[in-house]
Amino acid sequence: MSAGHVLVACDKFKGSLTADEVLAHIEQGLLRADPDREVRTVVVADGGDGTLAAAFSAGFDRVPVTVEGPTGEPVETAYAVKDGTAVVEMADACGLVRLPNRELAPLTASSRGAGQVLAAALEAGVQRIVFGVGGSASTDGGAGLLQALGARLLDAQGNEVAVGGGPLGQLARIDLDDLHPRLRDVQLTLASDVNNPLLGDQGAVAIFAPQKGADAAQQEQLEAALTTFSDLVTAAVGRDDTQRPGAGAAGGVGYAAMAALGADMRPGIELMLDLTGFDAMLPGATLVVTGEGSLDEQTLLGKAPAGVAAAARAQGIPVVAVCGRSLLTAQQAADSGIEQVYALTDLEPDPSVCMRDAGRLLTDLAERVGREHPRG
C-alpha cells in the first residue's frame, strides 16, 4: 500500500442512502478500481438532520431521551456525548422529519422538544453543548425551547400560552427567572448555516415559514406574533437581538438561544468538522471525496460539501464531489473548491431509478472516480 490516502467525507443522500451507506458504497467503488488503495471515511453534517449520526460516527456515545415532537407527540431521540461535550440535533427531536405523516403545522409546531433534550444534557452535567438547529418544523421564535428550560410565557390573564408560533400573539408577559440554573455554567454553541435576522423581509417568517406550510395570512400572523414575543424578550434581557445574524435560524430558535440563553453561533459545517476530527484526517490525503444527495446553490451557502471542500483546499488537497444530481455549473463547483462533480444522473438519467438503485450506482460512480484519479 503506497503512501497517501483518499478521504471520503460525505453527508447522506436524503431519501435514498444514509451517510454511513454513502461512505460504504464509495469505499467499495474506490477499492474496486484499486484494491490496494487506502481509503478513510468520515460522516459529515452541517447542523441539520444527520448531525447526531456524524457525532456517533466520530465516537460519541448515544444517550436516549423521550421528548415532545413538533406537534406534541412523544418522540424517541437522543443526544451524543463525549468528553463533557454534548451534541443535540433539533431536527431529530422536533424537526420536519418528526412531523406525523409529514403534515406541516405552521402555526402550532413547537421547538419545545429541542429544549427538553437540552435540559437532559444539562442535568447530565455536560460542560459544552453543540446545538444543531437545521431542519426545524416550527416558527415559534424559540418560545417552546425556553418553556422547556423553565421560562414562563403568560397571557393577560396570567395563563401559559399554547405552544407554537401562532399563539405568541396572545403574550403579555415573559418570566425568565427560572431558566435552568446550569445554563450559566455551560458553553452553548449553535451550529447553523443561517445568518438571517429574526424579523423583516429577510427574517425567519419571510424566508423560511413558507417551507413550513405558512400561507400569506399565516405569515402575517407569525410575523406579528414574533414581534410581540421579541419585544417582551428584549424588555426582559435589556438587549435587542432581533437583527443579530442567525437570529432567524430554526424559526427563531437562534434568537431565543442567543438573547435568553447566552448562546453563540458558528457555521454548522465548521463546527461539525472540528467535532468529527476531519482536519486530523487530512494530512497525507491525496484526494478528498465529498458529496450529498443534491448539489445546488444551497450547497454553496455552507452545506457540508462546501465546508469540506474549503477545508481541503486550504491544505492544497484536490476535491471531487459525488451526488445524486447536480444543478451547479462547472464554474460554481470550481469556485467552491470542487474540481469535478460526479452525479448518479451521469449513469442513469431516470431520477426514480437513481433513488431506487442509489447504492449500486454510487459504487459504480466511485469506481469511475478511482480510475480517473489514480494514486500518485
63 in Cβ contact with 83 (< 8 Å): no
Distance CA 121, CA 266 (A): 20
What is the average pLDDT score of the chain? 96
Instruction: In whole angstroms, give the CA distance from residue 371 to residue 223.
Output: 53
Taking only the tens place, the pLDDT of each residue in 87-96 is: 999 999 999 9
Within 8 A by CB and 6+ apart from 331, the residues are: none
Percent of the chain with pLDDT over 90: 95
Per-residue confidence (pLDDT) for residue 1, from 0 to 100: 40
Query: Which pLDDT score, from 0 to 100, does residue 30 have?
Result: 98
Low-confidence ranges of the chain (pLDDT < 70): 1-3, 376
Look at the domain 5-44+281-372 and name its fold: Rossmann fold (3.40.50)
User: Rounded to whole angstroms, how far apart are CA atoms 163 and 352?
Assistant: 39
| HSE (side-chain half, CA atoms, 13 Å) at 121 | 32
Q: What is the pLDDT of residue 131?
A: 98
Identity of the residue numbered 251: G
Q: How much is the pLDDT for 312? A: 96
Q: Which CATH architecture has domain 51-269?
A: Alpha-Beta Complex (3.90)
Tell me the domain boundaries of the chain: 5-44+281-372, 51-269
Chain segment 249-275, per-residue pLDDT in tens: 999 999 999 999 999 999 999 999 999
pLDDT digits (tens, 9 = 90+) for 153-166: 999 999 999 999 99
Task: Report how far residue 277's alpha carbon sits from residue 280's, in angstroms, rounded to the nearest whole number.
Answer: 5
Q: Spell out the long-range contacts of 338-346 with Cβ–Cβ below 8 A and sequence spacing 24 or more.
A: 338/290, 338/305, 338/309, 340/372, 341/295, 342/368, 342/369, 343/295
Give the pLDDT confidence score for residue 3 in this predicted structure.
Answer: 60
Burial class (CB in 10 A: 0-12, 13-18, 19+), 285: buried
pTM of the prediction?
0.92
Half-sphere exposure of 319 (CA within 13 A, CB side): 24
For 216, the enclosing helix (H) or strand (E) is helix 216-237
Tell me whether domains 5-44+281-372 and 51-269 share a fold: no
